[in-house]
Structure 1
């Protein structure tokens, strides 16, 4: 008969259970990942809508305060249309290259390609600029500016003389 030597018993194989420490860590990690993936997102809030702009009639003195100073909107008029150019405050507001046009009728200055103060109507109580003396090239330049403003900015009103405004109020 063959003799079997009795030696140490073979090592016991431990059965892997769900409660082993590594499995508990992995399970916790899985739950954390699922939570962050499926948790409800914070409700998105929309930015406050800007105040509505009402189309109105302006006389030159009424337009003057809309020059961007004191957080006022920036308006300018071109050929009787009043444009809200507030989004271009860097150009038309205080300190901008076109600041002379803010709160004013910019028609002649744009037509002549001049930003000088003498291109602006001095007498705000008088009649509007009739554009006499402008040549074909200047009128074309003015049309180009008007088209650009119409594409880019909102028309918020029309410019009339003080006399017209008084007649319409009566």
Structure 2
């Protein structure tokens, strides 16, 4: 009679072990794919934003440079408040329908619903337009424009006359 060890039948040749070459290749390929999926990614560089806007005091001559030319910001003043209207560059920037107000005090023109050049203060070194000669309808127009600007744009400063004690020293 045969011993139990002799009676053990060797496994058939078709049965493969886990350490076969094809399994090792598949496990290696799986490990590489997992690494590629979870490896640290390169840091994404965000584009630089615009420079921070600081509330400041403007005079008519210092406001004039913010007319949107050469990619600069577009500011305009309404009743002493300076608004950054750069998001509306198509309207207030160069070539826009309200471009003559860019970098200027637009109060009188907006009140009179006139976008003509003669609505702008010619003497930038003189006193600010006090708007006292406007009638009730013009004041109402101006208030409606001012409300619209307050809803849409940031106030970045205030406008004072050249000789004002708050005027920036150059």
TM-score for both structures, normalised by structure 1: 0.76
How far does residue 139 in structure 1 lie from its aligned partner after superposition?
2.0
Q: List gaps (5 residues or longer) in structure 1.
A: 1-11
For 2:15, the equivalent position in structure 1 comes to 15
Deviates more, 1:52-61 or 1:42-51: 42-51
Structure 1 counterpart SS, 2:163: helix
What RMSD over aligned residues (CA atoms) do the two structures have, in Å? 2.7
| Alpha-carbon distance between aligned partners in 1 of 2:65 and 2:110, rounded to the nearest angstrom | 20
| Alpha-carbon distance between aligned partners in 1 of 2:131 and 2:158, rounded to the nearest angstrom | 17
Alpha-carbon displacement from aligned partner over 1:101-141 (angstroms, at most 9, x marks no partner): 10100112222222221221122122222223433333223
Q: Does 1:108 align with 2:139?
A: no
CA contact (8 A) 1:59 1:165 kept: no
Q: Does 1:124 align with 2:124?
A: yes
Q: Does 1:94 align with 2:94?
A: yes
Structure 2 counterpart SS, 1:164: coil
| Alpha-carbon distance between aligned partners in 2 of 1:115 and 1:53, rounded to the nearest angstrom | 27
For 1:155, the equivalent position in structure 2 comes to 155
Quickly say closer, same or farther: Cα 1:120–1:26, change in 2 above 3 A: same
Q: List gaps (5 residues or longer) in structure 2.
A: 1-11
CA contact (8 A) 2:58 2:158 kept: yes
In the alignment of these two chains, the number of paired residues is 158
Structure 2 counterpart SS, 1:83: strand
Quickly say closer, same or farther: Cα 1:13–1:141, change in 2 above 3 A: farther
